[in-house]
Amino acid sequence: MTFLTLLPLAVVMVAGTQLVAAVFFASSDRPRAASLGYLAGAAIVVFGGTTVAWLAVHLFKLNFSGTGRGTVERWLDWFVLALLAVLAVVVFLRRHSGPPRWMGQLQHASPGYALKVGLLLFLGMPSDDLTMATVGASAARHDLPWWHLLPFVLLTLVLLALPLLALLLLGRRAAVVLPRIRDWADSHSWLVSEAVIALFAVITVLDLAK
């Protein structure tokens, strides 16, 4: 496994409500400032969450660096597989949940409020918590150095920044593009998420079969 294997899970991180919120911020009274605040909040959580998971598994493996290492790695594979199974169920159950009502308030969000939304939204979403745990645990299980988490974090932020980039690049035409991004994220992103989860599950099963 390399850091490239972890990158598709960034789609799961932003799919649905998270990307919909990014669209609302890009359409707000202060789109640039609000979007940057939202991205900052998301960055803190994703960076911190994956790092904590990586550290936890890395330190756990250090305690079994001897003859029991192979057994520990198999248990970690089963742990990751269990996380993926729960994540798939969570994504499926939330597929038609729609954006929360409070998102209507994001139209007038300040940068500080947007930062808080980024923090709370990514902390409070079970799918994001499970994805961060999966990424961190998988990287540590395969002895990937900590910095291999950074491309995953950066890709997550780039995907979240798509509405802002559309606004900056398209100007007034973004008024047409942004609702399409919002509607797609709300309706179909769960299918992409499930496909990514299935792909990562296959990779984990192949590790178990070795």
Mean pLDDT of 73-81: 85
Does pLDDT of 98 surpass 90? no
Confidence grade of residue 37 (pLDDT, cut at 50, 70, 90): very high
DSSP codes joined into one string, 22-89: HHHHHTSSSHHHHHHHHHHHHHHHHHHHHHHHHHHHHHHHHTT-STTHHHHHHHHHHHHHHHHHHHHH
Tokens, residue 3: 């850091």
- Mark 2-21 as b/e (b = at least 16 C-beta within 10 Å): ebebbbbbbbbbbbbbbbbb
Taking only the tens place, the pLDDT of each residue in 124-160 is 888 899 999 999 999 998 899 999 999 999 999 999 9
Confidence grade of residue 67 (pLDDT, cut at 50, 70, 90): low
Does pLDDT of 23 surpass 60? yes
Q: Is 210 helix (H, G, I), strand (E, B) or coil?
A: coil
Mean pLDDT of 166-174: 79
For 144, other C-beta atoms within 10 Å of its C-beta total 18
Does pLDDT of 9 surpass 70? yes
Confidence grade of residue 71 (pLDDT, cut at 50, 70, 90): confident
